[in-house]
Structure 1
């Protein structure tokens, strides 16, 4: 009798992912990646303090409008390009192999940068929380690596397992924020309720460009809907619906939540309060309006929101690497699919290992987990995602300029062009203010591109260059022709 190892039986080299994810599951996957509670607790206060103060909420609405315009062309492309891979597939078929491979490597840089940034931030928060409740005083990276291992286990298994975990975590964090806003409204805030945040004089005051940097970062992840195409129950309908709902839902949620926080402390006192309590403003807000139980609960859910976000990023990166493996941009083994779990298990393990190495490197470099690792890498990720979306908008226009393939002019020309213009403006603002994010300022406190700014932004150029160089090698390798971008 021949003995067959069960692990070998369950782990195959098939490159085909499959699943029955519906709109809700994919929506939760990408919304969790954005970490709604993490944005409200961290991104909103920092954006308001360094940006345009009480005028932050309209920036979320403006960004959502730009991204919805982008999504029109993005979804039109997803209906025609049925291979997984999203950004690099769309850019590849619209602008050519070199642009596509450059986008593939830039996407990996972007998602890894954002994931490691959140691992560092979450590790620091968990470390401080453990000490505050009498737990062991361990370095931030120990907690980060524990999370890496736990998320690696979930990522190895079926996507349905992750979806069930995220369903609970995301609904809990969204609910607690809305409860907090409701409590503020019922108690009329600190200075009464008003729409002062939406008055031009308010949202144009201060430095709205800096606020925009944190606002755009709050939406990262929505574009990953197309990455789950092979695991969607009905991708032709599921992907567009999940994309539009993600953008519109996040835009409305962030606008309401940020407005509630502003009302809670009063527009006239907001900057002063944030300056003194930036790290724990969300806990203080709940303590003031909901009570001790609310403050404790929001602190717990803040930690779980980091976990949910990291699980979302893990699933996205694992599937991006799987798609690159299927296309010959990474070793074919990366495209392996587990027979029983139907997950890209090899890619998942690779993702876990790389995240661990990057965190260990950051720890060995004695970098501050929030002021340096989180700040620097989230900045790189934000710039990277804007570049990718801008290139995708151009690719949509170029692809459909040859033949609209039954799509409307709105889907193939007007909306993508308007989205591109909006993204170009956002990108210009972010890059102009990038030095402030990493602390490169002149004697007058104005942004000044120093070695750190240039070095971090150059990582984007390096990633694209690696992809372009790889496309040259692919062009010279006839044996790999069948696995080029479609």
Structure 2
């Protein structure tokens, strides 16, 4: 007997519309990962403060854990289609209260990471404009310009957003591959070696820090399920897109980070990263491709950040839509645009929330990179890890209870192994969390406390709305 996929709460009137396939969804997911931002921004920090030449292996370890986790995730996607993704999976497996707690974590994660990227993108644009003799405009004005552009595209059909991201992503990955190819063809600084992928290199220094940044670079990979309602044949598209996204992101990260290591030499790259953390990758581009290519790469960093902003905006809009459709948010947010089939009110809500977060940091006079980007990305990393652990538990519970799939590896072993791997990474992240957000233990405690409060708030909301529904039914 063939199991009919469950569309939790979906009706013809409230469903999203779109026709994206595997390739379109993979573009949306990889855009959220922002490969050039990871290689140009996170990788140098991983090398300098983490495990030096062993940093590329951290990407492989992170990809392996997420790939195992994705086995159960993809298997469950064959039995339900819902734009709530993690939240919908947790609710189906562990109940409405835990599900809404997970939804609150998801909104916190994506709102935080998007705010972080607005800060980094605005600062990058500001510095770029000034370096070319342009006006010295406050960073938050550039952030608001980005909010307006992203909000306009997010308001429209997902098909339009996917096309924009496809173009930007091809260019972004293209320049990363060109740099990697140039380094490998020219033999690097001291020749080609595989030191980066040896156990001794991976476990040198502080591998926990490298692994922490590596897993953060994958945030957004679960968006394959978020777009299920807007995909062609979602029960086949979502699993394929999930595996493809994790594998492609992992390969791009591993190869390109290895190339950057070889560009300076396995023995010398750590010192080079400490000496010029921000310019490490761009310095490699200047050496192996020329100054013009290095300048192009700086511009491509801006488009990489923009692509990530659009991808996360789309994800948040759909989470808000899913919550409203379940009665946990104002009903107006569950409406879809009559022409575009998009969650347009959810998109507007997300644009407004981005303005609020950016406005608060701007009014406080904080630095867009040292405070906004660092604090919010650290918050998002812990939140998404906890959310994935909850999802892994929910997947295991769902298959154990429903019996709709009896494959042992897909429904028992892989989900459990994925949870164990994620718990280990979560422990490493928490152990290094103070360092991640700038070294303040008080601030670290405050940010971790926000995660707890947000999750509890989601649970309380579920109980409150549940009791209200019960009272309405009996009155």
Q: TM-score range by the shorter chain?
A: over 0.9
Cα separation, 1, equivalents of 2:91 and 2:16: 21
Aligned to 2:460: 469
**Which of 399-408 and 221-230 deviates more?**
399-408
3-state DSSP class of the match of 1:328? coil
Q: Is 1:170 the equivalent of 2:161?
A: no
3-state DSSP class of the match of 1:154? helix
Aligned to 1:451: 442
Q: Is 1:194 the equivalent of 2:193?
A: yes
Cα separation, 1, equivalents of 2:472 and 2:169: 42
Q: How far has the Cα of 1:479 moved from its partner?
A: 6.2
Aligned to 1:250: 249
Cα separation, 2, equivalents of 1:305 and 1:200: 32
Gaps of 5+ in 2: 1-11
Residues 138-149 of structure 1: matches in 2 within 5 Å?
A: 138-149=137-148
Q: How far has the Cα of 1:274 moved from its partner?
A: 1.4
Aligned to 2:5: none
Contact 2:73–2:395, Cα closer than 8 Å, also in 1: yes
Q: How far has the Cα of 1:83 moved from its partner?
A: 2.9
Aligned to 1:156: 155
Gaps of 5+ in 1: 1-12, 442-449
TM-aligned CA distance change 1:297 to 1:481, over 3 Å: farther
Residues 315-354 of structure 1: matches in 2 within 5 Å?
A: 315-354=314-353
Aligned to 1:446: none
Contact 1:474–1:481, Cα closer than 8 Å, also in 2: no
Q: How far has the Cα of 1:136 moved from its partner?
A: 0.8
Contact 1:76–1:407, Cα closer than 8 Å, also in 2: no
Q: Deviations over 1:69-126 (max 9, x none)?
A: 1111111111112233111111112111111010011100000000000000011011
Aligned to 2:18: 19
Q: How far has the Cα of 1:456 moved from its partner?
A: 0.5
Contact 1:283–1:295, Cα closer than 8 Å, also in 2: yes
Cα separation, 1, equivalents of 2:175 and 2:472: 52
RMSD (CA atoms) = 1.4
Aligned to 2:394: 395
Cα separation, 1, equivalents of 2:401 and 2:313: 36
3-state DSSP class of the match of 1:454? helix
Cα separation, 2, equivalents of 1:362 and 1:30: 28
Residues 271-286 of structure 1: matches in 2 within 5 Å?
A: 271-286=270-285
Aligned to 1:364: 363
Contact 2:33–2:218, Cα closer than 8 Å, also in 1: yes
Contact 2:221–2:245, Cα closer than 8 Å, also in 1: yes
Instruction: Give me the TM-score of the superposition, normalised by structure 1.
Output: 0.93
Q: How many residues align?
A: 462
3-state DSSP class of the match of 2:432? helix
**Which of 390-399 and 281-290 deviates more?**
281-290
Q: Deviations over 1:173-203 (max 9, x none)?
A: 1010010011111111111110011122211
Q: How far has the Cα of 1:481 moved from its partner?
A: 8.5
Cα separation, 1, equivalents of 2:290 and 2:471: 62
Q: Deviations over 1:155-189 (max 9, x none)?
A: 11111111110011001110100100111111111
3-state DSSP class of the match of 1:21? coil
Contact 1:474–1:480, Cα closer than 8 Å, also in 2: no
Aligned to 2:411: 412
Q: Deviations over 1:421-472 (max 9, x none)?
A: 100100000011101112336xxxxxxxx21110011111011011111111
Contact 1:404–1:412, Cα closer than 8 Å, also in 2: no
Q: Deviations over 1:192-241 (max 9, x none)?
A: 11001112221110000011110001101111111111100110111001
Cα separation, 2, equivalents of 1:268 and 1:379: 29
Contact 1:14–1:335, Cα closer than 8 Å, also in 2: no
Q: How far has the Cα of 1:389 moved from its partner?
A: 0.6
Cα separation, 1, equivalents of 2:42 and 2:439: 20
**Which of 75-84 and 150-159 deviates more?**
75-84
Cα separation, 2, equivalents of 1:480 and 1:425: 43
Cα separation, 2, equivalents of 1:438 and 1:380: 8
Cα separation, 1, equivalents of 2:18 and 2:238: 14
Cα separation, 2, equivalents of 1:377 and 1:298: 25
Cα separation, 2, equivalents of 1:203 and 1:240: 31
Q: How far has the Cα of 1:278 moved from its partner?
A: 1.4
Aligned to 1:236: 235
**Which of 272-281 and 360-369 deviates more?**
272-281
Aligned to 1:263: 262
Q: How far has the Cα of 1:336 moved from its partner?
A: 0.8
Instruction: Give me the TM-score of the superposition, normalised by structure 2.
Output: 0.95
Cα separation, 2, equivalents of 1:313 and 1:402: 33
Aligned to 2:384: 385
